[in-house]
Chains A and B, each alone.
Chain A
Amino acid sequence: MLKPSQPRPSKRWLPRLSLHVLLVALVTGGIVHITSTLAIPYMGASTAFDRVSAGLTLNAMRVLPPAAPGSELLPFSDPVHQLAICPFDLNDGLLTVTATLPDPGWSLAIYTQHGDNFYAVAAAGLRQPDVTLVLEPSRATLLNLFGIGTAPNFDPSRIQAPEHRGLVVVRAPRHGRAFEERTAAMLARARCTSGPASG
């Protein structure tokens, strides 16, 4: 005997989902994704610049002690490196940076306030170990994209900083106790001073 047909489980909620809503949600999700990705460097509660520059004088280089448990300035600070750091502010004009990168493993890197590394040089690629750079605010404007405005900078010792504030970091590898005095002395040669290079 045939049973009366049972009503099928209702799928009435499915047609209720509007295709338009789905499409708009996908597009909005994409916008949320792009916006949040681009915003993160500017939203950080504590950027590397904030952490490092607290307690340091602007436009002055300071040799920091090697990282030790409990006293790391930044995450993943390898104590095999010793750092000299200069937090800079170009609102008052140019900054001259000098450093000596005597051996493999030494490097000099310059970062914006938001952590972008816009200049780096390592000892391995240098013909002579002394480095002198003049850091100046970027003069780039939208017009430069169309070849209008200031001439491009062809002087490799003049570096245009995309942001006015940032960090100069000299990294020195620690080769062991016997070399620590020499490493500290070489790092102490690093300077950053307001104004153009003298001489």
Chain B
Amino acid sequence: MLNMLLFLLIAVGGGLSATWIMIERGSALTTEINGPWTHWTAAGRLDADPYTRAHFARHALLPVSTALIGSYQATLDSEGRPLHSSCEYVLEGPEPSRGWWSLAVFDAGGKLIRNDAGRHSFSSDTAMRAPSGRVAIHLARSARPGNWLPTGGAGRLVLVLQVEDPHDAAMGGAANSGDEPNVQLPSVRRIAC
């Protein structure tokens, strides 16, 4: 009896738990973590590994190849605390890339957050820059000056930053050689709760 329980625990429980962790959270084999940002390195590629394929299929997502568009997701702030609509945050940093980029906020289920301003994202076309070229985007329930993304009463938040042609981006970050993406990811700083 004890042997049977142990067998089931390891074989079924262990096997499925490992699957869940590898597909939901990813690992060093499948993701790059840079501060609060997670990037599935083989998303949308023909040579994607089974974990990456399962991750995007399970969530019914249609990723564009990471060779063309880099997609970075954050569910934590830069201190490692979960993003929540009851808090206010500011995303700060230089322009993520020389090419086209967008940053959107969603609830934990990947749905847009209803708000009177009808605002859900900023892009390189719509974000205001400081004279220094830096970009600051505020996440808050109520209106803030500058680039403000309303978070309403969504609860847990998910940020998605998309950068076109991440390997050809011009500014800082990783080296511009090889296949390493060259993207400047903003910090996510909690201002108040």
What is the interface of chain A, defined by CB distance below 8 A to chain B?
Answer: 13, 16-18, 21-22, 24-26, 28-33, 36-38, 40-41, 44, 46-48, 50-52, 67-70, 72, 74-81, 104-105, 107, 109, 111, 114-118, 120-122, 124-125, 167, 169, 171, 173, 175-176
Collect the chain A residues with CB atoms within 8 Å of residue B48's CB: 116
Collect the chain B residues with CB atoms within 8 Å of residue A173's CB: 100, 102, 123, 125
Kindly state the separation between the CA atoms of A114 and B10 in the bound complex, as whole angstroms.
30
A122–B11 contact, CB under 8 A?
Answer: no
Kindly state the separation between the CA atoms of A50 and B57 in the bound complex, as whole angstroms.
11
Q: A25-B7, A69-B111, A75-B60 are in contact. Are A33 and B68 (CB under 8 A)?
A: no
Q: Which residue of B lies closest to A79 (CB)?
A: B120
A37–B23 contact, CB under 8 A?
Answer: yes
Collect the chain A residues with CB atoms within 8 Å of residue B10's CB: 22, 25-26, 28-29
B27-72: which have CB < 8 Å to A? Answer: 44-46, 48, 50-51, 53-54, 56-65, 67-69
- Seed contacts A78-B104, A173-B100; 16 additional CB < 8 Å A-B pairs: A18-B3, A26-B14, A29-B11, A29-B12, A37-B23, A38-B50, A40-B58, A50-B60, A67-B112, A79-B112, A105-B100, A109-B62, A114-B53, A120-B65, A120-B67, A122-B164
Q: A44-B58, A117-B65, A175-B125 are in contact. Are A76 and B160 (CB under 8 A)?
A: yes
Kindly state the separation between the CA atoms of A97 and B10 in the bound complex, as whole angstroms.
49
**How many residues of B sit at the interface, in one of the four size bands?**
35 or more
A107–B60 contact, CB under 8 A?
Answer: no
A76–B125 contact, CB under 8 A?
Answer: no
Collect the chain A residues with CB atoms within 8 Å of residue B12's CB: 29, 32
Kindly state the separation between the CA atoms of A120 and B15 in the bound complex, as whole angstroms.
34
Q: Which residue of B lies closest to A28 (CB)?
A: B11
Give min CB distance, A115 to chain B, whole Å. 4
Kindly state the separation between the CA atoms of A74 and B104 in the bound complex, as whole angstroms.
14
What is the interface of chain B, defined by CB distance below 8 A to chain A?
Answer: 2-3, 6-7, 9-12, 14-16, 18-19, 22-23, 44-46, 48, 50-51, 53-54, 56-65, 67-69, 99-100, 102, 104, 106, 109-114, 120-123, 125-126, 158, 160, 162, 164-165, 168
The listed residue (B111, B120, B125, B168) touching A176 by CB distance below 8 A is: B125
Give min CB distance, A101 to chain B, whole Å. 11
The listed residue (A24, A68, A125) touching B7 by CB distance below 8 A is: A24
A74–B62 contact, CB under 8 A?
Answer: yes
A104–B164 contact, CB under 8 A?
Answer: yes
B19–A37 contact, CB under 8 A?
Answer: yes
Kindly state the separation between the CA atoms of A74 and B57 in the bound complex, as whole angstroms.
11
Kindly state the separation between the CA atoms of A31 and B121 in the bound complex, as whole angstroms.
42
Collect the chain A residues with CB atoms within 8 Å of residue B168's CB: 124
Judged by DSSP, the binding face of A is mixed
B11–A117 contact, CB under 8 A?
Answer: no
B6–A22 contact, CB under 8 A?
Answer: yes
A116–B68 contact, CB under 8 A?
Answer: no
Collect the chain B residues with CB atoms within 8 Å of residue A72's CB: 110-112
Collect the chain B residues with CB atoms within 8 Å of residue A167's CB: 62
B125–A33 contact, CB under 8 A?
Answer: no
Collect the chain A residues with CB atoms within 8 Å of residue B54's CB: 37-38, 40-41
Identify 12 residue pairs between A and B in the complex whose beta-carbon atoms are under 8 Å apart, listed by A's number. Answer: A21-B3, A32-B19, A33-B22, A74-B61, A80-B121, A105-B164, A107-B68, A109-B44, A116-B48, A120-B64, A122-B69, A175-B126
